[in-house]
Amino acid sequence: MNGGNLLEQNLLLLQLRAGQMAAFNKLYTMYSPRLYVHLLKFLKSPELVEEVLQEVFVRVWQNRESIVPEKGFNSFLYTIAHNLAINMIKKINRDRALQMEVWASSISYYLHTEENLLDKERMAIINQAIATLTPKRREILLFCKVEGKSYKEVAELLGISVSTVSNQLVNALQDIRTFIVKNYSQEYLLGFLLFVHLAH
């Protein structure tokens, strides 16, 4: 972190403390990506992460007057974030259904990667789940996650907006998780390194 950045950050924090929205938004843009990924490690589900992330920054804004610019933004941000993450962890602990959601989320990450997979059972589950998607969602899921096309490419291909692509992808992943949760809540299901093979 060079001197120039430090000065800029200091100024942003002073502006945030004074209630300037533009500074708040800039800090969000700078810090939220890393925080998102960090929370994702522990909470797995994008929905849960986003719920926490929203509340974190709302609290940053509400408590802006207690920011000490000299101490930087990281410790302030992560103190709030970890507090809320812990609350969420406790919530997950109390809620079996939420635990299922978290587990199903961690599975769905592997849709696009080719892992050395020995378990045909899990493969079958994922394929079944994909088969139950609506045609539009299946198409978008396969384009994005399996063929690795960018959102822009998919948007142009299908004649829709990037925002629609993103929304549909979220929906598709949710549908898959819901399918898994609904059909596979038995205890015998072990491990979940999954491999998706697209047979043509």
Q: Please report, as ranges, the residues that interact with another protein according to CB under 8 A.
A: 18-21, 24-25, 28, 32-33, 36-38, 40-42, 44, 46, 50, 53-54, 57-58, 61-62, 78, 82, 85-86, 89-90, 92-93, 96, 99-100, 102-103, 106-107, 109-110, 112-113, 134, 136, 144, 150-151, 158-164, 166-170, 187, 189-193
Q: Are 168 and 136 in contact (CB under 8 A)?
A: yes
Residue 69 Cβ vs another protein, minimum distance, rounded to whole Å: 18
Phi, psi of 32 (to 5 degrees): -70, -35
Q: Which two tokens stand for residue 71?
A: 């101490």
Q: Which two tokens stand for residue 49?
A: 């992460």
Residue 104 Cβ vs another protein, minimum distance, rounded to whole Å: 9
164 to 33, 49, 136, 158: CA distances (angstroms): 21, 21, 11, 10
Residue 168 Cβ vs another protein, minimum distance, rounded to whole Å: 6
Nearer to another protein, 106 or 132 (CB): 106
Q: Are 33 and 75 in contact (CB under 8 A)?
A: no
Q: Which two tokens stand for residue 122?
A: 């899990």
Residue 18 Cβ vs another protein, minimum distance, rounded to whole Å: 7
